[in-house]
Amino acid sequence: MARLRRFAMAALAAVTVTVGSLASATPASAAMSCQTALALHDIYMATGYIILGTNSSPTASATASYWFGKASGILQGACS
């Protein structure tokens, strides 16, 4: 269990760094490409699954749903 938790923490750190670098790489006025949106979608979905898999608190489901909703919204906004 400790091994899984360490892996989840490392994955979450990697997701945080990746999201930060993707978000700061483009100017605010530029539209997001569908390719970038797909990458963020995958990151947001992974974040939700990590939260569900490693957290048994009552708010884990709501927090994961937040990330799943963000993933869905980013695809609708950039790839429709």
Specify if 24 maps to a domain: no
Specify if 43 maps to a domain: yes
Q: Directed axis angle between helix 2-25 and helix 34-54, to 10°?
A: 160
Query: Is it the case that residue 71 has pLDDT exceeding 90?
Result: yes
24-39 pLDDT, tens per residue?
Answer: 555 555 678 889 999 9
What's the angle, vertex CA 71, arms to CA 32 and CA 1, rounded to 5? Answer: 130
* Mean pLDDT across 53-64: 86
Specify if 8 maps to a domain: no
Query: Is it the case that residue 14 has pLDDT exceeding 70?
Result: no
Specify if 36 maps to a domain: yes
Please state the domain count of the chain. 1
What domain range is 72 assigned to?
32-80
pLDDT attached to residue 41: 93
Specify if 51 maps to a domain: yes
Specify if 58 maps to a domain: yes
* One-letter identity of residue 44: Y
Query: Is it the case that residue 11 has pLDDT exceeding 90?
Result: no
Specify if 5 maps to a domain: no
